[in-house]
Amino acid sequence: MLDYLGLEADLTQEERMIRDEARRFVEEEVKPDIGEHFENGTFPMDLVPKMGELGFYAPTIDGYGLPGVGDRAYGILMQELEAGDSGLRSMASVQGALVMYPIYAFGSEEQKERWLPDLGTGDAVGCFGLTEPEHGSNPSGMQTRAERDDDGFVLNGSKTWITNSPIADVAVVWGRDTSADDSPVRGFLVETDRDGVTTNKIDDKLSMRASVTGEIGLDDVWVPEENVLPGVEGMKGPLSCLTQARFGISWGVVGAARDAFEAALDYAKDRDQFGGPIARFQIQQDKLAEMATQITNGQLMAYRLAELKSRDELRHQHVSMAKRHNVRMAREVSRTAREILGGNGITTDYSPMRHLANMETVYTYEGTHDIHTLVIGADLTGIPAFE
Amino acid sequence: MKVLVTVKEVAEVEDDFEIADLDVDPRYLEYDLNEWDEYAVESAVQLAEAADEEVEVVSVTIGPERSEETIRMALAKGVDRAVRVWDDDIEAAEFLDVASKVRLLEAVVAEEDPDIVLSGVQAHDTGFGATGVALADAIGFEWGAVVNALDIEGVLNDGVARVHRELEGGIEELTEIDLPAVLTIQTGINEPRYASLRGIRQAQSKEIAPKTLSDLGLDFSAVESELFLTDMYEPETESDATYFEGDAGEQAAALASALREKGVGAE
């Protein structure tokens, strides 16, 4: 496995063991039929409880049956999962960083006890409702409304591009509380079996096919007061969750790129043309050297991010830079890997084009590449381009 | 009840390698838990999980400090603690034969006093396939070799290991073995689990007790092997293939004369 500058030699024994077991899990449980799932547009549902049993959901949380590992160990885990498929890492990202994290950080003790153990084992599946049909990059323009009644709230609105909504038991829905001054954004835990909730599946995807994506429709959905996340008001609620998730993406896509690279390297050494392996040609070696260098760059960013996070010095702009850089890197690397595989590269027998297709989603989800560019631009100049 | 599982860190050789002296050059080796031992560990942990009373699972290995990472994976999967036997005399021993290993394991059995010992059928690298049964003989336990099914209830409730043993030609033998006993575990007896993140965390604080020969009441004579490696080489692959050049007619003519030379067919 590519680790050109030997960064993994600095991992602790615990981190190496997590890497090894996650890698073995992906090798044995994911890779054999992920191509078929991608082709059929299905998520391997049997992996939901298996990943829970192994503690893959929100593993940095300590308590509620969760293992409490460090930030770098979490990053390594995301890297290994996404080497399998971005759909798998997305499942773990959403469940952990976008559902369990806000409940842990902003929830009441009752909410934590009700949901964290079940979400941790995969007995319950969660989803995160922020994006709306008319509000993508500018989520603060959201139209979802919550209106107070006697002992709870009535929710109306629609959310879209929601990973796992059709299979979710609970949705963390962000909406404006119109009964309060200035209509602040609040988080609501909405059980998907409540009257008025619909979760239609989005079927016509050409990317991230081994992942379930859908909408959340809220038509006069009543939730009790105790379903409101008490600990946060305003956009920092959803945005802080996204910073957590993007940290995982920055690590994850390094795994996808590495997997594409390894497939291309094996193929180049194996594929004989003109009397020898194509790996002997300078044009292929140029591609391989460039890929290895770019992956190593991405890996360095991911490691540095974990370092800053564990010191509590990580700013969301740091995460924007790594997410932006690493996803673009993985997109380019997987495309180059596909080239080396020639015609074989366009089938589901090999991973690079599947990773490439997935990267098209990752490039524009959780903050598009362009918006992250502007976040960094605003940080550097002090002049926000999008306000 | 106490279960002792013998585990070994084995060397895996890369596809391309070189030989240095009497062994594969370590640069071409990677180390992992012996595959058969993974199944033995799983059987032991399943015994402990199924028991109402306290069942302690202890693993023992003979190996250098490097092997701790491999051993810790067994701890992450539910083994309670581990014993690792190693010292300078063992390091200096050129080759540990089965008898040497048995002398060390015998001393550990004397200290631990287990009710049942589980061992992999064989080690992936040296492949003697003898340590388990030789140990049983040395410590006076009953034994069952190449076990591919084990009735856990019988072990826990009746003190009897009801086992299926895999024999040649697809024959299965059903045997009842009174405890204490040594069972050598075959792959496929169960489905070894993955270590969970929680298990991996907990394993970091579980004990791996280092033991030297003198800790076990032994000295360097315990690892004096009667078996010596005399040579290690890659067998020459003999290939007599001849490729006949030319078009089909020329190739057929060349083949015909070659066959005639070998005395095939009538003149």
CA-to-CA distance for A295 and A317, rounded, in angstroms? 21
Contact A218, A158 (CB under 8 A): yes
B256 assigned to some structural domain: no
Q: How confident is the model at residue B267 (pLDDT cuts 50, 70, 90)?
A: low
| Average per-residue pLDDT for chain B | 92
B229 assigned to some structural domain: no
In the numeric block, which tokens belong to residue A144?
A: 């979802």
In this prediction, residues A118-135 reach a mean pLDDT of 96
- Give B-chain residues touching A54 at CB under 8 angstroms: 194-197
Whose structure tokens read 């409540």?
Answer: A194
Query: At A291, which amino acid appears?
Result: M
Kind and range of the H or E element at A250? helix A236-270
- Give A-chain residues touching B195 at CB under 8 angstroms: 17, 21, 54
Q: What's the pLDDT at B171?
A: 87
Instruction: Tell me whether B218 touches chain A (CB under 8 Å).
Output: no
Percent of chain A residues topping a pLDDT of 90 = 99
- Give A-chain residues touching B204 at CB under 8 angstroms: 13-14
Q: Which of A13, A54, A73 sits opposite B194 (nearest CB)?
A: A54
Does residue B69 surpass a pLDDT of 70?
yes
Whether residues A21 and B194 touch (CB distance < 8 A) is answered with: yes
Q: How confident is the model at residue A221 (pLDDT cuts 50, 70, 90)?
A: very high
B105 assigned to some structural domain: yes
Residues 6+ apart with CB under 8 A from A264: A287, A288, A291, A336, A337, A338, A340, A341, A352
CA-to-CA distance for A221 and A192, rounded, in angstroms? 10
Domain that residue B185 falls in: 2-223
Query: At B142, which amino acid appears?
Result: E
Instruction: Tell me whether B195 touches chain A (CB under 8 Å).
Output: yes
Residues 6+ apart with CB under 8 A from A354: A34, A35, A38, A85, A348
Query: Looking at CA atoms only, how far is residue B84 from chain A in angstroms?
Result: 17
Whether residues B197 and A18 touch (CB distance < 8 A) is answered with: yes
Q: What's the pLDDT at A372?
A: 97
Q: What is the dihedral of CA A9, A12, A18, A23, to 10 degrees?
A: 0
Of the residues A54, A66, A71, the best mutation for testing chain B's interface (the one with the most B CB atoms within 10 Å of its CB) is A54
Contact B148, B162 (CB under 8 A): no
A263 φ/ψ angles, rounded to the nearest 5 degrees: -65, -40
Q: What's the pLDDT at A81?
A: 98
Instruction: Tell me whether A74 touches chain B (CB under 8 Å).
Output: no
Q: What's the pLDDT at B134?
A: 96
Closest CA to B51 of B154, B195, B123, B146: B154
Query: Looking at CA atoms only, how far is residue B197 from chain A in angstroms?
Result: 5
B254 assigned to some structural domain: no
Residue A8 catalytic? no
Query: Looking at CA atoms only, how far is residue A67 from chain B in angstroms?
Result: 5
DSSP A100: I
Query: Looking at CA atoms only, how far is residue B69 from chain A in angstroms?
Result: 7
- Give A-chain residues touching B41 at CB under 8 angstroms: none
Kind and range of the H or E element at A381? helix A369-381
Residue in B closest to A66 by C-alpha: B198
Query: Looking at CA atoms only, how far is residue B218 from chain A in angstroms?
Result: 32
Instruction: Tell me whether A282 touches chain B (CB under 8 Å).
Output: no
Q: Which of A17, A53, A66 sits opposite B200 (nearest CB)?
A: A17
Contact A170, A126 (CB under 8 A): yes
In the numeric block, which tokens belong to residue A59?
A: 């593993």
pLDDT tens column, B2-57: 999 999 999 999 888 999 888 889 899 989 999 999 999 999 999 999 999 999 99
Whether residues B197 and A16 touch (CB distance < 8 A) is answered with: no
In the numeric block, which tokens belong to residue A44?
A: 């391997």
B198 assigned to some structural domain: yes
Distances (CA, A) of A381 to A321, A323, A367, A376, A378: 15, 20, 20, 9, 5
- Indicate the pairing of strand B142-150 with strand B181-185: parallel
B235 assigned to some structural domain: no
Q: What's the pLDDT at B156?
A: 93
Query: Looking at CA atoms only, how far is residue A81 from chain B in angstroms?
Result: 14
**Domains of chain A and any CATH numbers:** 7-126 (1.10.540.10), 127-227 (2.40.110.10), 236-381 (1.20.140.10)
pLDDT tens column, A319-364: 999 999 999 999 999 999 999 999 999 999 999 999 999 999 999 9
CA-to-CA distance for B235 and A242, rounded, in angstroms? 59
In the numeric block, which tokens belong to residue A93?
A: 């990202």
DSSP codes of every residue in chain B: -EEEEE--EEEEE-SS--EETTEE-GGGEEEEE-HHHHHHHHHHHHHHHH-SS--EEEEEEE--GGGHHHHHHHHHTT--EEEEE--HHHHH-S---HHHHHHHHHHHHHHH--SEEEEESS-TTT----HHHHHHHHHT-EEEEEEEEE-HHIIIIISEEEEEEE-GGG-EEEEEEESSEEEEEPTTSS-PPPPPHHHHHHHTTS-EEEE-TGGGT--GGGG--S-------PPPPP----PPPSSHHHHHHHHHHHHHHTT-S--
In this prediction, residues B137-157 reach a mean pLDDT of 94
Does residue A276 surpass a pLDDT of 60?
yes
Whether residues B69 and A56 touch (CB distance < 8 A) is answered with: no
Intra-chain end-to-end CA distance of chain A, in Å: 44
Instruction: Tell me whether B76 touches chain A (CB under 8 Å).
Output: yes
Residue in B closest to A60 by C-alpha: B197
Instruction: Tell me whether A269 touches chain B (CB under 8 Å).
Output: no
Sign of the torsion angle spanned by Cα atoms B195, B199, B205, B210: negative
Contact B2, B86 (CB under 8 A): no
| Average per-residue pLDDT for chain A | 96
Q: What's the pLDDT at A9?
A: 95
CA-to-CA distance for B72 and A13, rounded, in angstroms? 9
Residue in B closest to A13 by C-alpha: B69
In this prediction, residues B163-182 reach a mean pLDDT of 91
Of the residues A11, A12, A21, A26, the best mutation for testing chain B's interface (the one with the most B CB atoms within 10 Å of its CB) is A21
Does residue A178 surpass a pLDDT of 70?
yes
Q: What's the pLDDT at A65?
A: 93
- Give A-chain residues touching B200 at CB under 8 angstroms: 14, 17-18, 21, 67
Q: Report the CATH number at residue B172.
A: 3.40.50.620
In this prediction, residues B128-134 reach a mean pLDDT of 93
Q: Please give the tally of structural domains in chain B.
A: 1
Q: What's the pLDDT at B266?
A: 61
Whether residues A17 and B203 touch (CB distance < 8 A) is answered with: yes
Contact A112, A104 (CB under 8 A): yes
In this prediction, residues A156-176 reach a mean pLDDT of 97
A162 φ/ψ angles, rounded to the nearest 5 degrees: -100, 105
CA-to-CA distance for A4 and B82, rounded, in angstroms? 34
CA-to-CA distance for B9 and A315, rounded, in angstroms? 43
| Catalytic, out of A15, A29, A82, A366 | A366
Whether residues B73 and A56 touch (CB distance < 8 A) is answered with: no
pLDDT tens column, B183-207: 999 999 999 999 999 999 999 999 9
- Give B-chain residues touching A64 at CB under 8 angstroms: none
The ipTM value here is 0.92
Three-state secondary-structure class, residue A206: coil
Of the residues B193, B200, B208, the best mutation for testing chain A's interface (the one with the most A CB atoms within 10 Å of its CB) is B200
Q: What's the pLDDT at B36?
A: 96
Closest CA to A367 of A244, A241, A246, A257: A246
B230 assigned to some structural domain: no
Closest CA to A128 of A110, A106, A108: A106
* A86-100, A122-136, B158-172: the lowest-pLDDT one: B158-172
Beta-bridge partners for A155: A146, A221
In the numeric block, which tokens belong to residue A26?
A: 């992906």
pLDDT tens column, B201-247: 999 999 999 999 999 999 999 999 888 888 888 888 777 788 888 89
Record the pTM: 0.90
